[in-house]
Chain A
Amino acid sequence: NAGVTQTPKFQVLKTGQSMTLQCAQDMNHEYMSWYRQDPGMGLRLIHYSVGAGITDQGEVPNGYNVSRSTTEDFPLRLLSAAPSQTSVYFCASSGNRRGDSPLHFGNGTRLTVT
């Protein structure tokens, strides 16, 4: 049982480049989300989805796009990378949209923008 799989594990980008962080879950979870983790700031929600075809913005959505064409996949796109987007990115899913089910996290993507 793979759970939540994120790729790549590490990435270095130059300012202005674009890229897609991949996230896939094999638990048939309705809810998926992207967080970024920065030292001393905890986790901040970027975007989330409550099902295929439905996405919404979180706390820090600027500079990021998402789509949810299938239940399993929830890619995060950086449109034009900036040094401020240097962070560790986590994808998380949960079994329902009620909020009483815990989040399952991937192991993260460490992104550096130079």
Chain B
Amino acid sequence: AQSVAQPEDQVNVAEGNPLTVKCTYSVSGNPYLFWYVQYPNRGLQFLLKYITGDNLVKGSYGFEAEFNKSQTSFHLKKPSALVSDSALYFCAVRDFPTYGNNRLAFGKGNQVVVIP
């Protein structure tokens, strides 16, 4: 079964510094990978995805992520963090498609705190 690990509970970073949120995955085939962000009392919002193609994918709000097949990782990055980036971040993975099955496995989430 597919699974996702987000090893850090909380990531603290100073405003203006680079932000990295780590994610590793385990799947039986080629993965579809996603990052979502959750602000307080809201649902999850889609940031970016890797399906195929370039290993570096760009998403919303200046975020990007790099797919590394050999390390089974999909770390989320932002060159310069903003206070408004403080939120809960989730990595998710889907096995290569079984038609009709859009099931995602989510990591436990990382709280990002950007310090002014």
Query: Footprint of B on A, CB under 8 Å?
Result: 4, 31, 33, 35, 40-45, 48, 50, 58, 90, 92, 94, 96-108
Distance A31 CA – B101 CA, assembled complex (angstroms): 9
Q: How far is the CB of B101 from chain A (nearest CB, A)?
A: 7
Contact between A99 and B49, CB atoms less than 8 A apart = no
Closest B residue to A45 using CB positions: B103
Contact between B43 and A94, CB atoms less than 8 A apart = no
Query: Footprint of A on B, CB under 8 Å?
Result: 4, 9, 32, 34, 36, 41-46, 49, 51, 90, 94, 97, 99-104, 106-109
Contact between B109 and A103, CB atoms less than 8 A apart = no
Partner of A48 from the list B32, B49, B102, B106 (CB cut-off 8 Å) is: B102
Distance A4 CA – B46 CA, assembled complex (angstroms): 14
Distance A107 CA – B40 CA, assembled complex (angstroms): 10
